[in-house]
Structure 1
Amino acid sequence: MGRFDGTVAIVTGAGRGIGREHALLLAAEGASVVVNDLGGANDGTGTDAGPAQDVVDEIVAAGGRAVANTDNVAQWAGAGRLVDQAVAEFGRLDILINNAGILRDAFIAGITEDQWDAVIAVHLKGHAACLHHAAAYWKARSKAGEDVSAAVVNTASASGTFMPNAGQANYGAAKAGIAALTQVAAEELERYGVRVNAIAPIARTRLTLATPGMSALFAEEVPEGEFDAFSPANIAPVVAYLADPNSKLTGKVFAVQGGAISELIGWHTADAIESDGPWTIDDVAARLG
């Protein structure tokens, strides 16, 4: 008996890296999985049905159930087709793992509109589009009197939360938006039986190996038999727990790397100054320093 027997999951960006590990673990625990991956390059250009199908073949060879999907989640209609396929193929949807992402790093002074738009589209809009269509499906089931127990796990990043990275204004802004989206969605969807959480993973992937200043760290070889702290396989068990119907967590964001799991707390009030009357510029200057 698997932890997810009888459930259906979508994993976006599941053809490689972290997403692949999510799909493999959920399938090993009994979930039927829709493996979504456009199959593009790191910057989102191009398409290739191979990566998604390879993961499906691996799942099926191990005795699991899976189908491939190559829709572009950055397109509202593509995200809708993805959700529709899950329901058509397997009869339901219980879990949405938003993981798809690309990189087009550039410094703010030199970034182009296309570099900005492409990253925001795949990460932030891609999360929102899939979340929208899945939420509409779960809301309709709930309104019809069904007892819904569903889960969403979004993918934020250290770059958009606790470790801003120069050259990634587009990526960091998108990931910070995903963290905020997670908390808003958790508030909205709880009434329909849906929990929404996010992770900020640090692991060896195509994207991190291509990140300036970080590639050497992730590329270091790990001696055989030693714990690989940057293996993407370390991330999947956290996601599986957050997707488990027995978990009650919602509205949380967790940093995950190697053997460490840390809850991230968003913007909060630190030092404050107050005035009994209108501020003047000099008052603010004197008191803020």
Structure 2
Amino acid sequence: MGSLDGRVAVITGAGRGIGREHALLFAREGASVVVNDLGGANDGSGADSGPAQQVVDEITASGGTAVANTDNVAEWAGAEALVGQAVAEFGGLDVVVNNAGILRDGFIAGLEESQWDSVIAVHLKGHFAVLRHAAAYWKSRSKAGEPVAASVINTASASGTTMPNAGQANYGSAKAGIAALTLVAAGELERYGVRVNAIAPIARTRLTLATPGMGAIFAQEVEEGEFDAFSPANISPVVAYLATEKCPITGKVFAVQGGAISELAGWHDVRTIETEGPWSIEDIANRLPVEG
């Protein structure tokens, strides 16, 4: 028996990279998978049904169950259709893995409006849109008295949590927003039987290979038989665990890379100054220097 037997999962951006590894592992563990991928380029341009269908073909050839979906999750109707397809094809929905993403890097002083909007749309709106329609489905089931044991796994990034990258104001902002969205959603949806977590993965994908200053690191060859710390396959087991019916974890963000999984914590107080009366600018200037 697989750890995800009987579970129905929607996985976005599942035609390549980390998402593909999620889909393959979920299917091996017994889940019925809706493999979503628009099939666009790194910057989100274009569309191709091939990547999603190829993953589905690979799953079905191995005896698993999957269907392809090429809806654009950055569009409200596309996200709604994706959730609807899972329910129509497999009779329900238990897991959402939000993974779809693009890159349109640029330094702030020269960043175009379209570069900002497109990245925020695919990452942050795309996460929210799928989450929103899935949440509405689970809420309706819960209100009808049906048992719900659902799980959402979002995809943040070190760029938005622990390691901001120059040239990625749009991407980092979206990923930080996803981490915050995860915590809000965990608090809101628990009453309906839904757990929400996020991962911040580091792995070799077409996006990381295209990131300036990082491509050479991820492109390093690994000799046959050695552990490949940057393989995207290393990311999927924790996602599969978080998707299991009995997993108790919710409201967490985990950094995942190679053989390491770390729980991340957000903003917290590191130093406080106080006054017993009104603040003066001079007092603040004297007491609030930046400590190197």
Structure 2 match to 1:145:
145
Matched, 1:57 2:57: yes
Structure 2 match to 1:247:
247
Structure 2 match to 1:227:
227
Structure 1 match to 2:9:
9
* CA-CA distance at 1:270 after TM superposition: 1.1
Residue 110 of structure 2: SS of its match in structure 1? coil
Structure 1 match to 2:134:
134
Matched, 1:118 2:118: yes
Residue 227 of structure 2: SS of its match in structure 1? coil
Structure 2 match to 1:38:
38
Matched, 1:218 2:179: no
* CA-CA distance at 1:7 after TM superposition: 1.1
Q: Distance in 2 between matches of 1:136 and 1:16?
A: 28
Structure 2 match to 1:173:
173
Structure 1 match to 2:271:
271
Q: Deviations over 1:30-64 (max 9, x none)?
A: 00000000000000000000000000000000001
Q: Deviations over 1:150-176 (max 9, x none)?
A: 000000000000000000000000000
Q: Distance in 2 between matches of 1:251 and 1:109?
A: 35
Structure 2 match to 1:100:
100
Q: Distance in 2 between matches of 1:213 and 1:119?
A: 20
* CA-CA distance at 1:245 after TM superposition: 1.3
* CA-CA distance at 1:269 after TM superposition: 1.0
CA-based RMSD: 0.4
Q: Distance in 2 between matches of 1:246 and 1:149?
A: 8
Residue 96 of structure 1: SS of its match in structure 2? strand
Residue 93 of structure 2: SS of its match in structure 1? coil
| TM-score, length-scaled by structure 1 | 1.00
Q: Deviations over 1:158-206 (max 9, x none)?
A: 0000000000000000000000000000000000000000000000000
Q: Deviations over 1:104-124 (max 9, x none)?
A: 000000000000000000000
Q: Distance in 2 between matches of 1:242 and 1:268?
A: 26
Q: Distance in 2 between matches of 1:248 and 1:107?
A: 41
Q: Distance in 2 between matches of 1:42 and 1:78?
A: 19
Residue 108 of structure 2: SS of its match in structure 1? coil
Q: Distance in 2 between matches of 1:238 and 1:143?
A: 30
* CA-CA distance at 1:6 after TM superposition: 1.1
Q: Distance in 2 between matches of 1:203 and 1:170?
A: 20
Tell me, which stretches of 5 or more residues in structure 2 are unaligned?
none
Q: Which amino acid aligns with 1:278?
A: P
Q: Distance in 2 between matches of 1:20 and 1:38?
A: 13
Q: Distance in 1 between matches of 2:242 and 2:284?
A: 44
Q: Which amino acid aligns with 1:103?
A: L
* CA-CA distance at 1:272 after TM superposition: 0.3
> Structure 1 residue runs of 4+, over 2 Å off?
none
| Percentage of matched positions with identical amino acids | 79
Q: Distance in 1 between matches of 2:7 and 2:239?
A: 15
Structure 2 match to 1:84:
84
Q: Which amino acid aligns with 1:12?
A: T
1:12-23 aligned at under 5 Å gives the runs 12-23=12-23
